[in-house]
């Protein structure tokens, strides 16, 4: 018998999440049945999508949604031998039972010198998001200028590095001087702290006086309105996220950017990385190859202790993390 600890959403978030919205519960798990495996979480992920998805994918009383790198500790399913590692959608739980249908084995030849936690970051969902946003949505071309916001985060930091690798000029916006220093380390051409610049319009103009061909949008809200005005004619915008809106209790209203979009003839497309699920295996190999070649660097913001998961999640929503937010059990 295994005692599983689970974080439950006891109350739907109203505005910014609070400690009292979560409750830690312990549950005794039965032995795995035929075809089932028992998993132990090794690394858990805190991601912005958990905030909006909690609203339409969860009921009060559910285990918080999320992915984790887990180790198979008992197996009645030959596809997942004991000791192997999987990506599980088991949510915020230390232990879970699974029939295997929601599991993806971690890449077969995962190199020993690459931390397994990267399977939740650069060589996982956020890395795939960066890659698809650049290749499938923006169609970024060598020599173009790209703007990315939340640039020092899990997705943004990969976006900037892939764009640099492709021979583009990259401008990044982030919320602290330490994040800006990190972006410079990664090779971003220009980076600024949007919280201290005064005028976003001036900062964007200074970073790229000729404007932007592509904008990888992670933030939304007023940033977006200002950035759209700095696009070149026929600019492309990949709407990946809108984290500045996730905790709003009432929908934001205008200003509306239609006239800017018409006059500049812009193209804006929202996307979810899952659209290209059929490419994931191949794409993960490409991301791993870049990591091994030293072309893709990763930083992780590690919170130790399963009991600190709500704090890690709330920290992510207020910008505590540089790089990928990871929780170790």
Ligand X SMILES: NC(=O)c1ccc[n+]([C@@H]2O[C@H](COP(=O)([O-])OP(=O)(O)OC[C@H]3O[C@@H](n4cnc5c(N)ncnc54)[C@H](OP(=O)(O)O)[C@@H]3O)[C@@H](O)[C@H]2O)c1
Chain residues binding ligand X by CB under 6 A are: 47-49, 126, 129, 150, 152-156, 174-176, 179, 218-219, 240-241, 243-244, 271-273, 316-317, 319, 321, 325
Output 100 or 220, the one with its CB closest to ligand X: 220
Output 143 or 270, the one with its CB closest to ligand X: 270
DSSP β-ladder status, 85-88 and 22-29: unpaired
Residue with tokens 């798990």: 29
Q: Can you tell me the distance from the alpha carbon of 314 to that of 308, in angstroms, rounded to the nearest whole number?
A: 10
Q: How far is the CB of 72 from ligand X (least distance, A)?
A: 26
Output 93 or 157, the one with its CB closest to ligand X: 157
Q: How far is the CB of 29 from ligand X (least distance, A)?
A: 30
Q: Can you tell me the distance from the alpha carbon of 325 to that of 89, in angstroms, rounded to the nearest whole number?
A: 17
Output 168 or 326, the one with its CB closest to ligand X: 326
Q: How far is the CB of 4 from ligand X (least distance, A)?
A: 26
Residues 6 or more apart whose Cβ sits within 8 Å of residue 22: 7, 8, 9, 10, 64, 309, 310
Q: How far is the CB of 124 from ligand X (least distance, A)?
A: 10
Q: How far is the CB of 87 from ligand X (least distance, A)?
A: 14
Q: Can you tell me the distance from the alpha carbon of 57 to that of 132, in angstroms, rounded to the nearest whole number?
A: 24
Output 35 or 52, the one with its CB closest to ligand X: 52
Residues 6 or more apart whose Cβ sits within 8 Å of residue 259: none
Residues 6 or more apart whose Cβ sits within 8 Å of residue 114: 123, 288, 291, 292
């Amino acid at each position: 018998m295994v005692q599983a600890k689970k974080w439950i959403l006891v109350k739907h978030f109203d505005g910014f999440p609070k400690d009292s919205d979560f409750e830690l519960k312990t549950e005794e798990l039965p032995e795995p049945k035929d075809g089932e495996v028992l998993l132990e979480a090794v690394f858990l992920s805190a991601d912005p999508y958990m905030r909006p998805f909690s609203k339409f994918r969860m009921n009060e009383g559910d285990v918080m949604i999320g992915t984790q790198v887990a180790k198979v500790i008992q197996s009645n399913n030959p596809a997942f031998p004991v000791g192997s590692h999987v990506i599980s959608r088991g949510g915020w739980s230390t232990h879970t039972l699974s029939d295997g249908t929601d599991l993806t084995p971690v890449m077969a030849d995962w190199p020993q010198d690459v931390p397994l936690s990267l399977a939740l970051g650069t060589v996982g969902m956020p890395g795939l998001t960066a890659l698809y946003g650049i290749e499938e949505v923006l169609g970024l071309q060598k020599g173009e200028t790209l703007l990315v916001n939340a640039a020092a985060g899990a997705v943004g930091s990969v976006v900037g590095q892939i764009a640099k690798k492709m021979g583009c000029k990259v401008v990044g916006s982030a919320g602290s001087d330490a994040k800006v220093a990190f972006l410079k380390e990664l090779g971003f051409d220009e980076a600024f702290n949007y919280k201290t610049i005064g005028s976003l319009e001036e900062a964007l103009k200074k970073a790229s006086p000729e404007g932007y061909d592509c904008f990888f949008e992670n933030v939304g809200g007023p940033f977006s309105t200002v950035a759209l005005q700095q696009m070149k004619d026929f600019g492309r915008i990949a709407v990946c996220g809108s984290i500045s809106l996730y905790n709003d209790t009432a929908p934001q209203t205008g200003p509306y950017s239609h006239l800017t979009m018409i006059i500049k003839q812009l193209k804006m497309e929202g996307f979810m990385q899952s659209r290209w699920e059929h490419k994931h295996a191949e794409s993960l190999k490409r991301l791993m190859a870049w990591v091994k070649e030293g072309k893709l660097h990763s930083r992780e913001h590690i919170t130790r202790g399963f009991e600190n998961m709500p704090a890690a999640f709330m920290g992510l929503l207020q910008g505590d993390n540089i790089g990928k937010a990871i929780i170790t059990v």
